[in-house]
């Protein structure tokens, strides 16, 4: 399979790119000139790098057409970190850029377009999330993701392209996004610092990032898989459970001070991947204990590497 990936230098995008390469696919990655490919340093040399931001795709048209992708995986999204995701300045490049990408894919003869959405498209939800859960975003980020999914779906339909939109609930793993719960706690534990934590008893659906990457390729590999899917583990636990597992791996003698944070109460996050499993046969392979152990090993190794680099300097 010939695959074009946007967002390849990001968290999930890097794991997807590596999974595609290891699966024997021919991979091209679309990235901005200023992107730092540190997450895919081990595989970027085996891919075709096409330099162009989503806002300037016209300049990449010839290269993408020559590559002639069978599938486009759209993961690029500017302004994903923290409060930046709700800045109005990101609306146009993200939404219009997604449409331009779908148009570019059609012009290159691509037959499958797979985008990654978010649980933010749904807004606050109680109960188990599935494909029937109504979309009621209460943030600009959620509304923009919803718009991108709906608009690219309609455009792909006009071009006769299969379209799938996977609403990711919560992924974790090596090279996580800075500032997430797992990333913040791992760094705090390694540095011997305390992190103010909520009560942590709310349910949470933790999906190991490599399983998420496998799900995306599973959708591409099944010609009848289309529409909206919920991408999750389907095995919710609690934030406290995940935190304690990470503590055991990185700093067993440390004490986590649950209930010290004054953060607003969280409804939790639980989902069902039943439709995704039914249409593709995909199921998560990594349970929480295994995933946390692998994640902790990555953070431990990179903490040691960072310390060694600091000593050399």
pLDDT tens digits, one per residue of 252-276: 999 999 988 765 556 789 999 999 9
| Phi, psi angle pair for 208, to nearest 5° | -65, 135
Q: For the segment 6-46, what is each residue's pLDDT rounded down to a tens digit?
A: 999 999 999 999 999 999 999 999 999 999 999 999 999 99
Helix (H, G, I), strand (E, B) or coil at 290: helix
Over residues 58-74, the mean pLDDT reads 97
Q: What sign does the CA torsion over 7, 9, 11, 17 have?
A: positive
Q: Mean of the pLDDT values across residues 200-222?
A: 97
For the segment 181-195, the average pLDDT, to the nearest whole number, is 94
Residue linked to tokens 């967002």: 7
pLDDT in tens, 278-311: 999 999 999 999 999 999 999 999 976 554 444 3
CB 31 within 8 A of CB 51: yes
Residue 84 has pLDDT above 80, yes or no: no
CATH code at 173-205+238-269+287-312? 3.90.25
Domain 2-171+208-231: CATH architecture, name and number where available? 3-Layer(aba) Sandwich (3.40)
DSSP code per residue over 157-215: HHHT-EEEEEEE--EE-TTPPTTSHHHHHHHHHHHT---------SEE--EEHHHHHHH
Q: Helix axis angle, 91-107 relative to 140-159, nearest 10°?
A: 20
Q: Where are the domains of the chain?
A: 2-171+208-231, 173-205+238-269+287-312
Q: Work out the percent of the chain whose per-residue pLDDT is above 90.
A: 86
- CA–CA separation, 297 and 122 (whole Å): 34
* Distance in angstroms (rounded) separating the CA atoms of residues 77 and 87: 13
Task: Name 162's bridge partners.
Answer: 112
**Average pLDDT of the chain to the nearest whole number:** 93
pTM for the full predicted model: 0.94
């Amino acid at each position: 399979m010939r695959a074009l990936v946007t967002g390849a230098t990001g968290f999930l995008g890097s794991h997807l790119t590596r999974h595609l390469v290891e699966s024997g696919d021919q991979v091209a990655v679309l990235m901005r000139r200023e992107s730092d490919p540190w997450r895919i340093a081990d595989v970027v040399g085996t891919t075709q790098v096409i330099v162009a931001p989503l806002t300037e795709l016209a300049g990449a048209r010839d290269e993408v057409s020559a590559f002639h992708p069978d599938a486009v995986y759209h993961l690029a999204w500017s302004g994903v970190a923290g409060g930046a995701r709700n800045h109005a300045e990101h609306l146009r490049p993200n939404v219009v850029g997604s449409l331009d990408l779908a148009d570019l894919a059609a012009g290159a003869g691509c037959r499958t377009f797979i985008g990654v959405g978010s649980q933010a498209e749904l807004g606050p939800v109680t109960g188990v999330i599935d494909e029937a859960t109504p979309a009621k975003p209460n943030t600009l980020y959620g509304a923009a993701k919803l718009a991108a999914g709906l608009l690219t779906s309609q455009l792909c339909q006009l071009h006769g392209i299969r379209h799938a939109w996977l609403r990711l609930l919560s992924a974790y793993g090596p090279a996580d996004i800075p500032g997430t719960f797992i990333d913040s706690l791992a760094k705090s534990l390694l540095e011997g610092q305390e992190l103010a934590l909520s009560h942590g008893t709310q349910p949470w659906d933790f999906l190991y990032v490599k399983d998420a990457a496998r799900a995306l390729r599973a959708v591409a590999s099944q010609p009848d898989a289309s529409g909206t899917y919920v991408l999750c583990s389907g095995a919710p636990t609690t934030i406290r459970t995940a935190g304690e597992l990470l503590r055991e791996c990185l700093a067993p003698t440390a004490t986590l001070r649950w209930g010290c944070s004054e953060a607003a109460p969280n409804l939790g996050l639980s989902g069902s991947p039943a439709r995704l499993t039914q249409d593709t046969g995909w199921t998560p392979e990594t349970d929480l204990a295994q995933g946390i152990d692998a994640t902790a090993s990555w953070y431990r190794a990179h903490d040691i590497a960072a310390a060694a680099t600091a000593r050399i300097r």
